[in-house]
Structure 1
Amino acid sequence: MRKSSIIFFQRKFPSANMVLIKDQLPILIDTGFGSDAEETEQLVREAGILPEELHLVVNTHYHSDHVGGNFYLQKNYGTTIAAHKWDAGLINSCDREACSAEWLDQPVEPYQVNIKLSNNDEIHTGSRTLKVLHTPGHTLGHISLYEPEEEILICGDLFHKNDIGWLNIFREGVASIQRSMESLDRLSKLQIQHAYSGHGPRIDNPLVAIDAARTRLDKWIKAPEKVAWHACKRIFAFTLIMKNGLAKEEIDNDLLRCGWFQDFARYSFQLRPEEFIQILLDEMIRSGAACWHNNYLIASAPYQAPPVKWMNRNIKPKDWSTQYPLRD
């Protein structure tokens, strides 16, 4: 019988971290960015699990850096995908709002959610049981997974070791701040030894990280512009990562095409989008989120850029049903 273990993969952007529950019924939590799908498969193989042996992939939420490998695994190995029921409805109907991909201008290849999860559901891996906790905030369908035997929490992008997930007030609503606070309050009542988030290293003092996240959210409630700045910098940095930087002369047109940029400029900062471009660039440089290199603006975080050919496919949920039909 295979010995049970929990394996954490800390990954570079644009991929999110993954967690593999190596057991009689192996479970993979999140699958990284689409361009890293073959690397995702290789990591699973190197951990001693054949991809066809995966009993289930569970997504903490539907952003491109967490679900990008779903298509590859489902197409090549028939992998079963599980996600919160609210994400599943958008995904399975190929809704253009699915994954926020249209608004964020992030490519996601098509997949189907086979198992719709709800709060307090249980996922059995053989010798372990993972409890599904609905923890909305970063997205409305965001979930965390709790393993009580070793007191381990897999928290997606709800909070990180030294940060919290950005909040999409234009797609998830202004109540996302309060939802995040309520989700953190719920998790703070658990016995947690270690936590694994979607980005960054293992969290060895989860309750300290949760308290820090709640403190930050409390400041955001009092100063909503902080929410907007946090989100803008995270989204734009991810864009720079996906495109391996932007030439100075490309930046204006690229930003003006983005729904997120238009919304934050007009409604969070009450500026015409053209006026907000230089303000955002200055803040990216000041905060250290990006820097200039040979007339290119590049993200400061460590990353491996997706191949240009892959990015040029520009796959979005609005095209899934016609270009990439999937069987139910």
Structure 2
Amino acid sequence: METVKLGIATEYIPGRVNVGLYVSDNGARLIDSGLDDEAGRKIARMLEERKIPLQRIVTTHSNADHCGGNAFLRKRTGCSVAATKLESVVIENPFLEPLVLWSAFPFGELENKFLQAKPSEVDLIIENSGIVDESGLEAVPLPGHFLDMIGVRTPDDVLFVADSVFSEELIEKYAVMFVLDVGAALETLDRLIRAEAAWFVPSHAPASENIVPLAEANRKGLLRVSEAVLESCGEPASREKILQGIAGRFSLSMSVSEYVLNSAAVGAHLSWLRKRGQVAPVVEKGVLLWRKTR
């Protein structure tokens, strides 16, 4: 397992989900743990070969691809797990992630490792802003994507920004980037544009010394989807009908898991447009419809 060194004590492990590594005198801190047991096993093996004890995993948020290795690593190393209060509830009760997406207990096709990690205990509840522990890692609030997501800044001034931004390739491929709160996600992008750090490390894009172009691309992508959702409400339309139109507009083919993710994201855009007074809900013949306001 290769790592990329970004500071005296800060590295990251590139992959489908970039995992942060901060090594101090008393051991290592991970920033997230990857998708599953296999990701955890590879990380454990790498640390064992380097003879570095794992002290703690700081989990940015509870999406399965960020905490899926927690259970394996905690069992193998006895490490601590830290997360914010809201995110810790899902980390310890991971069926809640597909429950949030589907708004009911999940059916079988949603009970998969991409939407539901193995449960792992969180033994350190942290605030979403401020110093995490004696290592000097600092939590940075990054609202919008999930319940209470954080970024993590290391003493080397490397800022891990989790899922606040996605690569331009992913935006082009999937069009609809998952968020639960569009307004908060846009505000987070504004803060990232103003932020200063030696390096920025997104979870789903390469590390960069300048986050501004990527933040702007994500802003453009979010607003493009909001515009498409608003246009779909020219005639009263259900969320399912709106998502069908979005899929056609951006040539999306979806698995069941991708469908519920995109449906939740469309719901987030509708909530944001309603807050701005651009759409309004109405129930007709037992169907919740959305229409543009005058």
Judge which range, 37-46 or 188-197, deviates more. 37-46
Change (3 A) 1:71 1:222: same
3-state SS, counterpart of residue 7 of structure 1: strand
* Residue in 2 that maps onto 1:9: 13
Change (3 A) 1:66 1:258: closer
Is the contact between residue 32 and residue 65 of structure 1 (CA under 8 Å) also seen in structure 2? yes
Residue 111 of structure 2 is aligned to residue 105 of structure 1: yes
Give the one of 214, 217, 220 matched to 1:215: 220
Give the one of 36, 44, 48 matched to 1:34: 36
Is the contact between residue 177 and residue 222 of structure 2 (CA under 8 Å) also seen in structure 1? no
Change (3 A) 1:166 1:261: closer
Is the contact between residue 4 and residue 23 of structure 1 (CA under 8 Å) also seen in structure 2? no
Residue 118 of structure 2 is aligned to residue 114 of structure 1: no
Change (3 A) 1:179 1:39: same
* Residue in 2 that maps onto 1:157: 163
* Residue in 2 that maps onto 1:183: 188
Residue 4 of structure 1: how far off its partner (Å) = 4.4
Residue 120 of structure 1: how far off its partner (Å) = 1.7
Change (3 A) 1:261 1:152: closer
Change (3 A) 1:193 1:210: farther
Change (3 A) 1:262 1:131: closer
Change (3 A) 1:155 1:60: same
Change (3 A) 1:44 1:137: farther
The answer to which structure, 1 or 2, has the higher relative contact order (CA under 8 A, 6+ apart) is: 1
Residues of 2 paired with 1:96 and 1:144: CA distance? Answer: 24
* Residue in 1 that maps onto 2:24: 23
- Consecutive unaligned residues of structure 1, counting only runs of 5 or more, are 240-254, 269-328
Residues 273-284 of structure 1 aligned to structure 2 (within 5 Å): none
Aligned AA (2:43)? T
Residues of 1 paired with 2:261 and 2:199: CA distance? Answer: 36
Residue 34 of structure 1: how far off its partner (Å) = 1.2
Residues of 2 paired with 1:42 and 1:203: CA distance? Answer: 27
Is the contact between residue 84 and residue 116 of structure 1 (CA under 8 Å) also seen in structure 2? yes
* Residue in 1 that maps onto 2:147: 140
* Residue in 2 that maps onto 1:201: 206
Cα-to-partner distance string for 1:274-301 (whole Å, 9 max, x where unaligned): xxxxxxxxxxxxxxxxxxxxxxxxxxxx
Identical counterparts, % of pairs = 21
Residues of 2 paired with 1:117 and 1:45: CA distance? Answer: 27
Aligned AA (1:33)? L
TM-score of the aligned structures, taking structure 2 as reference length: 0.66
Alignment: residue pair count = 231
Change (3 A) 1:215 1:39: same
Q: Say what the alpha-carbon RMSD is for the aligned residues.
A: 3.6
3-state SS, counterpart of residue 188 of structure 1: helix
Change (3 A) 1:262 1:186: closer
Residue 57 of structure 1: how far off its partner (Å) = 0.2
Residue 69 of structure 1: how far off its partner (Å) = 0.9
